[in-house]
Amino acid sequence: MAEQLQQLNLFGGTPSEPVHIKRTKQVKSVAYKPTPKAIEQEVKELEIAEMPTVSRAPMHFGRDTISHKRGRKSFASMDGEMEKLRVPTAEVLSKKLYYPIGEVAVWFNANTSLIRYWEKEFKQLQPRKTRKGDRLFRAQDIEFLKQIYYLLREKKYSIEGAKTYLKNNKEKANKDIALIDSLNNIKNFLVSLKDS
């Protein structure tokens, strides 16, 4: 045994006697058994205390956010949201050079992922990108997004159908968007006139 201790002595000193630690007696634990009176008191305290409520309303974080359900929207719900399209006119768009993707997504009542998907599918849509990778849209990019939105959401074209339509009928698509913009401006004017 002494030889083993010398082998384990790493610091080179003289080996000392092994230390024995005495085992303490274990105390049996007693389970807590509440009395019926204590249970009744706890129930009363729980009834008195206000329980927090959970709101099912969507949360808004300082800017105009859109709450979406998961999955694809039905055409009926998309038709109801057409009135919520808030894309500014060309005159307002020309005031700034670039618009971030979050702001553009709010105008089109869509997720930023949908805008990125349209960018990937339609090669004509090429927003500027910062070094960090953020997308910045110019006025002509937003006008092209209007065309895509019109074909996919209002005319119910598929992605491939919209690509071929834009390829073959570019001038007609531009005229359609200009006509829709002018009709929306007239509608907004008449609604404001009716309200006043």
| Helical segments of the chain, H only | 2-8, 36-48, 75-81, 90-93, 101-107, 112-121, 139-149, 159-168, 170-195
Look up the pTM and report it. 0.51
Do the beta carbons of residue 142 and residue 99 sit within 8 Å?
A: yes
Mean pLDDT of the residues in the chain: 75
The reply to whether 30 falls in a domain is: no
Q: Tell me the per-residue pLDDT of 127-138, one tens digit each, with 9 for 90 and over.
A: 999 999 899 999
Q: What per-residue confidence (pLDDT) applies to 120?
A: 92
The reply to whether 43 falls in a domain is: no
The reply to whether 18 falls in a domain is: no
The reply to whether 105 falls in a domain is: yes
Domain count, the chain: 1
- Measured from the Cβ of residue 180, the count of other Cβ atoms closer than 10 Å reads 14
Instruction: For residue 133, give its domain range.
Output: 75-195
Average pLDDT for 139-167? 87
User: What's the token pair of residue 181?
Assistant: 């913009």
β-sheet bridge partners, residue 17 = none
User: What's the token pair of residue 127?
Assistant: 């927003």
Q: What per-residue confidence (pLDDT) applies to 45?
A: 72
CATH number at residue 149: 1.10.1660.10
SS3 135: strand
